[in-house]
């Protein structure tokens, strides 16, 4: 009976089941071996063959379970790789969309700047250079503002537009202003108006000088 004791309890239970031997949950391994040995169907070579077959089947089931586990693991790894690849492609797609969006934005800005340049040039075609001898500064500035709005030019661009329409001496007056004031159209406008609109004292002086001129 020594060869029986070398086998696992579950193998002995399977053997007892094949031989029609009743086993209880309280039976220990030694009890099962005794029942097999005491069975009228016990024949050592037959029992050895049955146990070898039981062991072979158990090993096959174990190998099959390992194979299935390996396949499930491989499938899970493949699914994970597929998920990672899908995420990578999705990120690349989003990055590509961002690149296209940024490119479109750059083109839009470039187009706007180009249009602004065209607008800057267009005012020279719409207005004559200011001439203090024939034009009133107030009326000229009012006309300039109306033309700038009609051309769709932003107020932040008005100063360089205006400078391009002024003679050199007036342009130099504006350029000498502090940087922040030079960019402020309202300040530039005030400077020009102060330059041409005579104060009462100045008017009286010119009137007096005119009266003193020989007739």
**Residue 153: CB atoms within 10 Å:** 19
Note the pLDDT of residue 113: 60
**Residue 24: CB atoms within 10 Å:** 8
pTM over 0.85: no
User: In a 10 Å sphere around its CB, with 0-12 CB exposed, 13-18 middle and 19+ buried, how is residue 183 labelled?
Assistant: middle
109-122 pLDDT, tens per residue? Answer: 656 665 555 545 55
142-173 pLDDT, tens per residue? Answer: 999 999 998 888 898 999 998 989 998 888 88
Residues of the chain with pLDDT under 50: 119, 199, 202-203, 206-207, 210
Note the pLDDT of residue 206: 47
Note the pLDDT of residue 140: 92
Note the pLDDT of residue 143: 93
Residues in contact with 211: Cβ distance below 8 Å, sequence separation at least 6, in sequence order: none
Note the pLDDT of residue 116: 54
Residues in contact with 14: Cβ distance below 8 Å, sequence separation at least 6, in sequence order: 54
Domain spans, the chain: 3-84, 126-211
Note the pLDDT of residue 55: 86
């Amino acid at each position: 009976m020594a060869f029986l004791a070398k086998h696992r309890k579950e193998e002995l239970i399977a053997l007892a089941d094949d031989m029609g031997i009743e086993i209880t949950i309280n039976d220990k391994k030694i009890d099962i071996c005794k029942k097999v040995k005491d069975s009228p169907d016990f024949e050592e070579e037959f029992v050895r063959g049955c146990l070898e077959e039981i062991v072979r089947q158990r090993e096959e089931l174990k190998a099959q379970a390992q194979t299935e586990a390996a396949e499930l693991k491989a499938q899970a790894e493949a699914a994970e790789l597929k998920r990672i690849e899908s995420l990578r492609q999705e990120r690349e797609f989003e990055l590509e969309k961002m690149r296209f969006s940024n490119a479109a934005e750059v083109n839009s800005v470039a187009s706007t700047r180009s249009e602004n340049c065209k607008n800057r040039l267009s005012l020279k075609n719409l207005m004559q250079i200011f001439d203090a001898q024939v034009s009133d500064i107030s009326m000229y500035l009012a006309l300039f503002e109306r033309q700038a709005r009609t051309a769709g030019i932003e107020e932040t661009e008005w100063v360089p537009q205006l400078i391009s329409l002024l003679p050199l001496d007036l342009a130099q007056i504006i350029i000498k202003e502090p940087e922040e004031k030079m960019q402020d159209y309202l300040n530039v406008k005030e400077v020009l108006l102060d330059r041409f609109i005579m104060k009462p004292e100045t008017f009286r002086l010119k009137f007096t000088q005119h009266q003193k001129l020989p007739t």
